[in-house]
Each structure stands twice: as C-alpha cells, then as structure tokens.
Homo-oligomer: A and B are copies of this chain.
Amino acid sequence: MSQRTTHTLLVTAMVFAAGLSPAAQADEGMWTTFNFPKAAVKQKYNVDINEAWLQRVQRATTRLEGGCTGSFISKDGMVLTNHHCVVECLADLSSKDDDLLGKGFHARQRSEEKKCPTEMISVLMETENVTDKVNAATAGLDDAKANTIRKQTLSRLEAECTAASKKSPHGALACESVNLYQGGQYHLYKYKRYDDVRLVFAPHEAIAAFGGDPDNFNFPRWCLDFSLLRVYENGKPARTPNHLPWRAEGPAANEPVFVVGHPGNTNRLYTVAQLQFQRDTSVPAYVIRNTEYRGRLIQWSKTGDEPARISQDPLLHVENSLKVYRGFQRALLDDALFDAKRKQEDQLRAAGGAAKAWTDIDNAETRYREIYDRYLYLESGVGFSSKLFTYARQLVRGAAERGKPNEQRLREYAESNLPKIEGNLLASTPIHNDFEEMSLSFSLDKLREILGPDDPVVRQLLGSESPDSLATKLVGGSKLADPALRKTLWEGGASAVAASSDPMIVLAREIDTTARGLRKIYEDEVQAPIASGQERIAKARFAALGTNIYPDANFTLRVSYGAVEGWNEKGEDVVPFTSLARLYERTTGKDPFALPQAWLDARSKLDPQTPFNYTTTNDIVGGNSGSPVVDAKGRVVGLAFDGNIHSIAGSYWYDERKNRAVAVHPRIIIAALRDVYGATSIANEILGAGKGTE
C-alpha cells in the first residue's frame, strides 16, 4: 500500500549510531548499482554480487513514472508490480457500470489487454557522471546565480544526451539529470521509455488491499498486492530478454535477499534546520490539510454509489500518505533524532571546510517559513485541487515556457520533461464534475483559511463568492474535460491560451504573476542557498567519510540488501511469514475485511499453508512499491509492497532492529492466478520464465 513515492537525508546508520566511523553492519542503505557495497554483503551474508548481476537486475527493473517500481518477468514484456500502483489506471478504465478497481481485471488473451491512459514505464540503461561539468559551470557564482546556471546546465546536458542517444545501441533514450548526495554528485541517467503500457491482470481490490487503511503499514498481513502489466512497442508486446526468472517456492527464513527499485525520497542527509522545518511547518501543514480532506472525501463517498466508486482511488492515496506523514511527525518529535543529528553536524563542522553552510541553510529555512503558505497554495497549486485546474496550469505555463529556449524554461517544461506532461495532459481520462467541485471547494476553503480572508489574492479570487459557489462556477463552466480541446490549446500555444475564456484558464492566468513571483523568491532565496550549502556539506562529508556511503533516495535506481526476518515488537517475536489459513479466519464480511466471493468459493481448492506475505530487513521506502525481491541468483522471490510501521521513520534513519519491508510471496501469486482466477496462461507465462527461455 505504502511504497509509492511520497516525500523524504543521508545518514548512514553507522554515522548515526557511532559518530563518523564507517563500519557497516546493519542492512542499511539504498545503494546505487555503481557504488554497491559488495564487500559488506560478502562479509555479512557470504554472497558474491558481481557487476553482471547488478547490470542484469538493473535492466530488468522498471520505473513506473506514476511513482512505483516494476520488473520484467517474461520475455514478452510482462511487468510485475503492485496492485496499488495500477489503481489510477484501473480507475481511469472504469465507469459507472464497470468497476475494474472493485472487481479486478483479467485479460484472457493479449488482445484483451487494455492500455493504461497515462502510464509510462522507464528502464535505466546507462548512467554518466557529470559532476565536473556542473561544478565548472557554477564555480565562483553567488548562490542565486549558481542555482540558475546549474539548472540551465542540467537542461542543456539532458538535451545533448538525448540527442546523442539516438545513435546508441539501445536506440533513443530519455536523459534525466540526477543529483546524488545533496549536490555531492551529478549524473545523467539514460532511460529506455515505454509509453504503451497495458493492463494484463489485477485481482479484486478487496484482496489486494485486504485490511485497508487499518492494516496498512502493519504486519502480520494478508494483501495480494500485485498486478501485471505489459509494455508494447509498435503495437506488439515488447521483447524483454533481460527479465527476471521466477523462483516459485519463494525464499527461506533468514535467506539473504535484495530489493531493486526506485525508492522515492529519504531525508537522512538533511540538516537540523531542514528537519525542524519539516517538524514545525511542512509536515503538520500536510497532515492537517489532508486529514480534513480525508474526512470530506469519506463523507462524500457515502452520498451514493458513484461517489463511493469514484472516491476509492483518491481515498487510498490520501489515507496512505497520511499514515506516512503521521509517521514522519512521530519520528520528528523524537528529540534523540535531533540530538544525534546535532552531534553529527558538530563533528562534520569540526572536521572543517563548510562551517557557514549550516547557518546558510538555517537562514534559508527561516525565509522559507515566511513564504511557505503562499508558495504552497498559489505556486504549488494546493489551493486549487482539481484535475481541470492542473490542465489549465499546464496549458498556460506550457504555452509561455515552450516559447522560450530550452535552457531558459522552468525545469518542469524542459524538453526532457515534455513527454511526461503531454502524456497526462492529452490522455483521455474521466473527469467527475461532482468530485472536482468537492475537491476544489475544499482547497479554496483552505486557501482562504490559511492565507486569511484579507489576503489580496484571496480577495481577488473569491470576491463575493464562497468556496462552494466559486468551485461550482469554475468546474461547471470549464470545457477542459475534453481532451480534444486540451490538444487544441496545447498545440495552439500562447495565442490560443491567451484567447481562451475558459474559466479555469482564466484562473490559471490570473494567479500566474503572483505564483511566479513566489517561485522566484523560493528559487533565489530558499532553494539557492540550500543547494549551495548542501554542496559544501557534501564535500566536507566526502572528505571526512570517503564515498563509501549511500545517497538519499530520490526515485532513482537503488539496490538494498537484507534477509527474510521478523522482528521483536514490545517483547513479542513477530514471525516473518503469514499464510492463507489466517486470512479466512480474519474476514468479517464487511469492508475492509471482506473477501470477494471468488475467494470464498476457491477456499477448498487452496492449500491453507500457502505463504502469503513476509518481512525482510531491506532498507526501502515509498517508490519501492512493486520492486522485485530477488535472491542471490537474481530470481524473483517476492514483490515488495509495504513496510511495517517502523519503516516510516526510515525517511530519517534506518533502525535495523525494527524497520522491515513487507512483500507478497510468489506462491500466493501463482495460487491465486491458477485456483482463484483461472488465469492459467498468465501463470504459465510467469513460470515459463523460470525455465530459462533465452
């Protein structure tokens, strides 16, 4: 449930627990393939991980651009990921009379596989270290100027890389710049992209997310949180020789396992000032805003069958995020975290070279506090929670930005990012006006509450309207639900957008100057000094610790190592495996503990001893959702989908005693496909891979 990217410092636990001496024992770290701690793994688990193994798992692992991971598990492009990673696709393909989220999906033959309207899948083919080029470009500049030039340089390097890739053996690649170690290193990551992604199989949501929000981030657990996609090229299933073989019996207790994927975000390298900003400002604001939204959404979902159906996807999302953020809040209220962090900063500061960096970051956070609410509500768009507004913002900004040279644009409109924007903007996905009105009215209400009714922008926007009446006018009056109109406006550019009287476009235009003003303050006065301070701290850290450390997660490819293990919870041992029998005992018949009829019917056919979910010591975080758990031989032995409740503090530090990843066992996946869903050919395709088809 939880491991989609949400927000997230690099501290190695070693640094954390024992000052600055690097002596890795914990299964800590989300490591890059080019800096994987082979020796530590050999020492602890007696497993040899070589370059071939790393390259194989790298190219078999996929990034789902919506915020998840997947892996190729057949030669014909089949991708294994979580059910909760395809929820948006299922919702987009559903209608009033055909609820794919509720009832699941099973393509009995390839011609029945349905394209996910906005899904895009990427595979990391190569990386290139461009640290020297970036540092050369910004040398000697003041913080704000360096920040601007850094972005321009990255946009230029990306564009040059993408152009050059056309001659590469892999064909055209999409190049994205990646900042590792908080400005310690810059890389270009080169991805092969698949934008024709089709749904192959999804179980009922009731079994995929059995236990719902109450069980989310908890263990023992019984979630069949898997789904299957397939990537297509030129209308045909893509050839994916780099897929992972399937180890049907799964892993043994205590066996060493590896999780390969795209962890979204950790903050283990954050400074005290950055953590305080989270503790005091951004995290509480997030929790409060979204908790109220959760309440509104739940109550709205009870107003009818359609609201109930439409609310499923956003509710899963908001409840999962809230559990994460409330976990952040608890973690940040642990004074020991701050004490350890202060000690660490004192040590690095004493080591010399960057003393002023911490003060600069502290000052930048103070400035951020001053503008945070307005930045969040007006520039980040939190005040306008509506798909239609998101379209309008992209059309208005897209027209303005595309009229500029690539390097001069806001980074999200650089050439390298346009395919993602277009993939969302031009896709045909359902818009539910009632939902849009509910959500927009809520966000306008919060805009007024947080900025205050006398804020000039609030007065300008609301005038004599209430949040409800304005939301109704905007949603009711906008025609942007029509993808053809969006295409016309996107292609028509600045003149077409300027001529539009669509009320959402008008709104996006009206706030644009104020919003861009806030963005400029943020970039020059907050982001720039932080980036500069972080670069200096990164250098000091490399000088003190060497590079045998891992960078914070940032939704780029990482490998973590660990073993299948439970943990001790308040004196009680939690065993690492659950099995099917207890699922049947635990059902109540009522959501979220209801079993689909097909599962009740299949009970006698299923082995009650079938392992269901299990826990490992791997260090993972949101974005690892859908990651393959692989054994020392590179075979799939599970599917990561969550962490236990202690894993949430993993954004700030790794606690080997308690932090556990949670995975779906391969046996329950095959049993479900064969004996519950009658999906024999799909099961065979998965198992076929195990027989070495290439």
Contact = CB atoms under 8 A, between A and B. Distances in A.
Contacts of A453: 211, 214-215, 593
A303 B301 CA distance: 12
Given A214-B448, A469-B590, A295 B288 contact: no
Interface string A262-279: 000000000000000001
A465 interface: yes
Contacts of A215: 453
Nearest to A302: B468
A303 B299 CA distance: 10
A590 B466 contact: yes
A299 B303 CA distance: 10
B288 A462 contact: no
A211 B453 CA distance: 8
- Size category of the binding interface on chain A: 35 or more
A294 interface: yes
Contacts of A214: 448-449, 452-453
A101 to B, nearest CB: 19
A595 to B, nearest CB: 12
A2 B44 CA distance: 60
Tell me whether chain A's interface is mostly helix, strand or loop, or mixed: helix
A342 to B, nearest CB: 12
A188 to B, nearest CB: 41
A291 interface: yes
A280 interface: yes
A326 B469 contact: no
Contacts of A297: 295, 299
A287 interface: yes
A452 B218 CA distance: 9
Given A449-B213, A453-B211, A590 B465 contact: yes
A588 B463 contact: yes
25 contacts: A213-B449, A214-B449, A214-B452, A218-B452, A284-B329, A287-B288, A288-B326, A291-B291, A291-B295, A292-B292, A295-B298, A295-B442, A296-B296, A296-B298, A296-B299, A299-B299, A302-B468, A303-B303, A453-B593, A463-B588, A464-B589, A465-B588, A465-B590, A466-B590, A469-B590
Pairs of residues from A and B, 5 with the lowest C-beta to C-beta distance, nearest first: A295-B295, A299-B299, A292-B295, A466-B590, A295-B296
Given A294-B295, A295-B297, A296-B298, 15 more contacts: A214-B452, A218-B452, A280-B333, A284-B333, A288-B326, A291-B295, A295-B295, A295-B442, A296-B296, A303-B303, A462-B588, A464-B590, A466-B588, A466-B590, A469-B590
